[in-house]
Amino acid sequence: MKSPFLKNGAENMRFKFYADKTINAYTYWIKICIYFNHKR
């Protein structure tokens, strides 16, 4: 993961004891949302 935004989000989810599969799914959807909005 290169983005500090995504890395921070993943760390927050780990802190709240989210499962690894859940973290991967959420970061995937966050990336899709960012690209859909033309990185704005």
pTM for this predicted structure:
0.80
CB 30 within 8 A of CB 7: no
Q: What is the spatial distance between Cα 34 and Cα 15, in angstroms, rounded to a whole number? A: 23
Q: What is the spatial distance between Cα 32 and Cα 38, in angstroms, rounded to a whole number? A: 10
Q: What is the pLDDT along the chain (40 residues), one digit of tens a residue?
A: 678 989 999 999 999 999 999 999 999 999 999 999 988 7
CB 27 within 8 A of CB 8: no
Q: What is the pLDDT of residue 40?
A: 78
